[in-house]
Amino acid sequence: MNSKIQRRDFIKITSAAGVALLANEGDARASEPAAPSPLPVVISSANGMKATAKAMEILKAGGKPLDAVIAGVNIVEEDPSDTSVGYGGLPNEEGEVELDASVMDGLTCRCGAVGALKSIKTPSKVARLVMERTDHIFLVGEGALRFALLTGFKKEDLLTDESRKKWLEWKSKLSATDNWLSEESEGTAFGEVIKHYGTINCLAVDPNGNIAGTTTTSGLSWKIPGRVGDSPIIGAGLYVDNEIGAAGSTGRGEANIKVCGAHTVVELMRQGKTPEQACIETLERVVKTTKEKRLLGADGRPNFNLNFYAVTKKGEYGGAALYPSRFCVNTGAESKLVDSAPLFNRPPR
């Protein structure tokens, strides 16, 4: 798409339904220049107010960006009231909580990740140890758990009473809402029980322009055991380049993986796009690659949400989502929720 075209203009997005769609009027913001924030700066998904505050505290005390973002998301990972991350996360279809996380350090260009990790509240810490203490990047399942236990973590029950209740509610309506597909299901909508996508992504830039990020999640609720989304995949749910900036995501991981979203956002920023412009253009690719009828609403648009967040080494930040959403920004002087640029103004139909 020509980046010079104003987003308030009509654009055509081809979906599997062959519907020509109208870009929403608010998208004109995507062409506006991004204003640098005084460094340091921390951004995260909307559930990261406490996380960004903690990360900023560490940065102001002279701490490293990687220390800052991991300490920040640990607050959410250990909070049972956030059912999308860590302890209390919504379980898989068998009632077991499986966690995914990734970390990436711009200073060293190193990264680490874990997927389908059970019984450990803080997968971001385990991901860091994968990065620092092994020659690997990604450990999954039993191997990830074995590694965590060898490095001093203790097994804990991650399923809270509240998450168990929600799982039992889903089980009672299983036939309409499970993650298995039949030939007939390709043309049907999801069932009545909402599928929960939830995650926290946190990105930090220190006063010297050094960057780090982490993404951590309990993943898609009621997923097939062993399912891994975009969060622990370097280049999809997280990417950091100390020369350019960083990006991360929350929302439907399967849609993001197909476009390598975080890496795509960073590469677009390398080409000169603002963080918001880069996020919007990546979302347009998501729409073009979403062709399954079951993933499209009556209007031909995706029936799920996906969010991207991005920051440059100069402190420019931005976010965009398929549908209206927000993200958190902490500049040290203030912590606030900011509207993401929506690709479409109205919710999916």
Domain count, the chain: 1
Query: Distance of alpha carbon 118 from its chain centroid, rounded?
Result: 20
pLDDT the model gives residue 35: 58
Domain CATH for 199: 3.60.20.30
Rg (CA), the chain: 19
Establish if 108 belongs to a structural domain: yes
Token duo for residue 318: 């931005």
Could you list the residue range(s) of the whole structural domain that residue 244 is in?
A: 25-177+191-342
Establish if 9 belongs to a structural domain: no
Q: Which residues pair with 113 in a beta bridge?
A: 102, 138
Establish if 61 belongs to a structural domain: yes
316 residue type, one letter: E
Which residues, given as ranges, of the chain have pLDDT below 50? 1-32, 182-194
Distance of CA 97 to CAs 45, 61, 119, 221, Å? Answer: 21, 35, 8, 9
pLDDT the model gives residue 186: 41
Helix (H, G, I), strand (E, B) or coil at 70: helix
pLDDT the model gives residue 307: 97
Active site residues: 199
pLDDT the model gives residue 328: 98
pLDDT the model gives residue 62: 97
pLDDT the model gives residue 312: 98
pLDDT the model gives residue 349: 64
The DSSP call for residue 347 is: P
For residues 151 and 298, give the distance between their C-alpha atoms in angstroms, rounded to a whole number.
50
pLDDT the model gives residue 172: 83
pLDDT the model gives residue 345: 87
Establish if 51 belongs to a structural domain: yes
Token duo for residue 43: 């951004």
Helix (H, G, I), strand (E, B) or coil at 331: coil
Establish if 283 belongs to a structural domain: yes
Establish if 35 belongs to a structural domain: yes
Establish if 185 belongs to a structural domain: no
pLDDT the model gives residue 36: 64
